[in-house]
Amino acid sequence: MNDLVKLVFAQIPKYLFNFFNLVSGPKRFVRKGNVYNDQSLTEATTFLAVSFVLTLILKTPFMPDVNFWQYIATLGLQALIEIALLAAVLRLAWALVGGHAPFGRFFITFCYYYAVGIIGLQAFTVFAYGIAKVWDPELYALLVEAYKGKSFSNPKMQPYLEKAAGSGDIKKLLPLVAVTLMLLLGWAALLAWTIAGWGAYRELTTLTKKRSLLAGIIFICLYPIVFLLTFLLYSVLT
């Protein structure tokens, strides 16, 4: 564990440099580094691996009460399967509209965009739960309990909502509203990030914007399958 932490922290300066360059100019960043060779592939997968470890650190307060290493191994396996499925679905979506760029270049691009996406989404989740912890500790405890469960739901939430709604005090509902808005903002940011980076795939395939849009629609239609499979895998393994 110590060796892993040291390895991650050794990569942090370069990671932060690449992260801010990627966020500030996603297509420009990928365009400069997307030449398929061992070095480019190593840099992309390292960036993804560091993002995954940082995401685990952000998840630490919400980890269920199970064997730590077993839980980490489960999340790692789930992430690998999700990455493989999403990359395959992405490649398929573009192939169906005539995009036939090498899979390696698709995968390098995907590693960078996926890495930023998981960090951003987890950060918004932490902010949302932080709001609840400061504003309404009872709500925070319910949310954490739900997060630790396999179904991400908590039967105790219904009595809490009924109590808050029945109090006649609108302020009782404000923490839940704030948390919900922050979570929705996180998903909106993820969608915006995906749209912002979609043009990078179009450049790889040299297709028109219309075909790029069609590829996006196909990907959106196929994504629920990946989400369902990874969710079922998480439920089985944890």
Chain segment 52-95, per-residue pLDDT in tens: 888 988 888 777 777 777 778 888 888 888 888 998 899 999 99
Q: Is the pLDDT of residue 236 over 80?
A: no
The token duo for 163 is 């109590």
Rounded Cα gap, residues 143 and 132, in angstroms? 8
Among 128, 150, 184, residue whose Cα is nearest residue 78: 150
pLDDT in tens, 83-100: 889 988 999 999 999 988
Which spans in the chain are helix H? 2-24, 26-33, 38-59, 68-96, 103-135, 137-148, 157-166, 174-205, 209-237
Q: Is the pLDDT of residue 22 over 80?
A: yes
Q: Is the pLDDT of residue 185 over 90?
A: yes
Looking at residue 34, the DSSP 8-state letter turns out to be -
Confidence of residue 189 (pLDDT cuts 50, 70, 90): very high
Handedness of CA 112, 113, 117, 118 (dihedral sign): negative
pLDDT of residue 151: 59
Whether 144 and 61 have beta carbons less than 8 Å apart is answered as yes
pLDDT in tens, 115-171: 999 999 999 999 999 998 888 888 888 888 877 766 566 677 778 777 777 766 667
pLDDT of residue 188: 94
The token duo for 220 is 């959106």
pLDDT of residue 64: 72
At 103, is the secondary structure helix, strand, or coil? helix
Rounded Cα gap, residues 49 and 39, in angstroms? 15
DSSP per position, 183-199: HHHHHHHHHHHHHHHHH
Whether 1 and 69 have beta carbons less than 8 Å apart is answered as no
Q: What is the mean pLDDT of the chain?
A: 83
Q: pTM for this structure?
A: 0.84
pLDDT of residue 187: 92
